[in-house]
Amino acid sequence: MYRLLIVDDEPIIVEGLFDLFQHRPDLPLEVYRAYDGKMALDISRRTRIDILLTDIQMPELNGIELQREVMRLWPRCKCIFLTGYNDFDYIQSSIRGGALDYVLKTEGDPAIGEAVDKAVRRIAEEVTYDKLIANARNRMTEALPTLRKEYMLELLKGEESNTEMRSVRFAELGIALNAEQPVMLALGRADGWPEGASPADKPLYTYSVNNIFEEFFAERVHLVHLSGEQNRMIWLMQPKEGQGISVASAAGPDAEPMHRFMLGTIESIQTACKQYLKLACSFVVGSEPCEWERLPEKYERLNWLFVKGLGIGTEMLLSDQRPAEGSSRGERNDTRKIQLLDQYLEQKNQDKFSRLYEEMMHSVCGGQSFRDGTTLELFYSLAAVFIAHMNRRDLFADISGKINMNKLFSIKEHETWSEVTDFFRRLAHLLFENMASEREQETNGVVRRVHDYVAANLGGDLSLGQLAEVVYLTPFYLSRLYKQQTGRNITDMIAEARLVQAKRLLGETQLKIHEVSVRVGYESAPYFTRFFKKATGLTPQEFRDKGKRI
C-alpha cells in the first residue's frame, strides 16, 4: 500500500483528483489531500508519504519548497508536479529538485493518472522481491552466528521441535549437525580468571578455550559451540564418517566409543588451557548419545553435576555415567520449561502452552505423597508465573470470582498431583479466555472511537493519518484492523456518514448548498454536488426541493 498526497490551492482540483484515485482499485493507494503547502507539510510530518502530487504555484509554501521539505522527511518519496504554466524555469527547477515527473493541468486526468502509475512502478522497481530477499540473505549471513546460538539455546531449553523442523532450521542456519542423529553434549567453565583480567577479557578467554577445543576435536567430529548461562561453554558434537568413532556404546572392535574419546581428548584440552592460557577449567561430558528431544534433560543433568561437584571442585573432568542420586533429573528439568510456558502465555499462544503443559505435568508421578522437592519446585514455579501474569494484567479480582485462589498459593490445598494438574489447566483456560475477550473489547473500542470521532468532525480532517493518531495506531494497521472488524473500508464509512449528515442538513436547515458542503468536509461546492448526485441520483438542490414537495 502506497500513500499519495494530493496538494493544490484550488479545492475543486484536489477533490476531483482525490475521487479519481479513490476509485482506482488497480492501484494500491491510500490517498490524502491538502489545500495548501503548510497543510501538506503537516500531514507529511505525521505519516509517511510515498508519492507527492502537488501544484507548483501556491501561496506561502510553493510546490518546489514543499517538495524539498517532504524529501527531507521521506527521501524515497516520488514527486509529481502539477502546473498550469508551460514554463521552462519551473520545470527545470522541479527536475533539479528530484521530481519524477510534471504534468500540465490542461493535459487532464489521463496524463495525471499515468504519472502516478509511473511513480508506483518506480517504487516497485526499487523495492523488488528479489532485492529484498537478496538484502535479507546478506544480513542473515552476517547474523548467522547469533541466530545459530539463539536457536540452539532454545533447543537446550526445551523449545518444541521435530526432525523435519530441525532439518530445515539446520540447513537455513548452516548448523553442521545431523538433525536425525543423536548428539553428544559437553559443558565447560572457567574456574577462575587470571589475575588482572578485566571483564572485557573474559569473552576473549572463552573464545580461546573454544579455539583449543576445535583444534583437538575438529578433525574427527562436527561440533557447535555456544555460550550459556553462568559463563557456561557448551559443545554439541557428532562423529564424522570414516573417523572410527561411534556414538554407540558398543559398535564393533574397530570403533572407538565417542564417550571415551571425548574424555581423553578433553583431558588434553584441560591441560592446554592451563599451560597456554593460565586458565583452570572444568568440564562435564555426557556419557551417551542423546536424542534431540531429550537434549534439555541431558543439559540440565550436566549443569547439575557442575553444581554438585566432586573432589576439590576445580579443574573437574566428570561424566554423567554415574547414576544420579536423589530425585529424577528428568522431573527437575521440567522446571526449566517454565520459562517457555511463561513465554507462550505472554504471546497468547494457547496451543503451544497446552501441549507443553500437559507434557510437563504428565512426566511428574504424584500420588497421595507427591510433595517432594521436585514437585514443590514445579508447583511454586507455575504459581509464580500465573501470579505475575495476573498481576501485570490486574486480573486477580476477576479470576478470584471464578476459581479458588487458595489453591494457587499453597500446594497443601491439593490432595493429589492430578488435582494440581486440573487446577492449573483450569486457571490457564480462564486466562486465555480473558485475553481473547480483552482483545475483542479493545478492537471494538478502537472502532467505536473512530466512529465517534468521525461523527463529531465531519467538517474537519478525517484523513487516515488523523484517525490513526486518535486511536494511537499506525494508519496502515488501523485500515486493516477496521476492515477486518467491520467488513468495509474506513473511506466508505466516512463517505456514508457525510452523506447522511448532508441529507439531514439539506432537509432540516436553511443552510446554503456551499455551507452544507463545508459542514460535511468538502471545500469545493461543485465537487460536493458531484459526490451527492453520484450517491443519490439527485443534486443537493433537487434533493432539498423534493423534500419540500413531500
Pick the residue with more confidence: 367 or 401? 401
Average pLDDT over residues 287-293: 89
Of 3.30.70.100, 3.40.1190.20, 3.30.70.1230, 3.40.1010.20, which CATH number belongs to 144-325? 3.30.70.1230
β pairing state of 221-227 and 233-239: antiparallel
Among residues 246, 247, 223, which one has the least CA distance to residue 235? 223
Query: How far apart are alpha carbons 460 and 458 in whole angstroms?
Result: 6
| pLDDT tens track for 84-114 | 765 555 666 656 556 677 788 778 888 999 9
pLDDT at 426: 94
Does the domain spanning 457-549 belong to CATH 1.10.10.60?
yes
Q: Quote the pLDDT of residue 324.
A: 47
pLDDT for position 474: 81
- Give CA–CA dist 224/148, Å, rounded: 9
The reported pLDDT for the residue numbered 546 is 85
Q: What is the structure's pLDDT at 124?
A: 83
The SS3 of residue 83 is strand
The three cell numbers of residue 268 are 588434553
Contacts of 115 (CB under 8 A, 6+ apart): 53, 80, 100, 101, 103
Domain spanning 2-127, CATH architecture: 3-Layer(aba) Sandwich (3.40)
**SS (HEC) of 155-189:** HHCCCCCCHHHHHHHHHHHCCCCCCCCCEEEEEEE
Mean pLDDT of the chain: 84
pLDDT at 332: 47
Span 379-389, average pLDDT: 90
Q: How far apart are CA 35 and CA 40, in angstroms?
A: 7
Please tell me the pTM assigned to this model.
0.50
HEC profile for 378-389?
Answer: HHHHHHHHHHHH
Q: Do the bridges between strand 281-285 and strand 184-190 make them parallel or antiparallel, or are there none, so unpaired? A: antiparallel
**Residue 259's pLDDT band (cuts 50, 70, 90):** confident
Cβ atoms within 10 Å, residue 482: 23
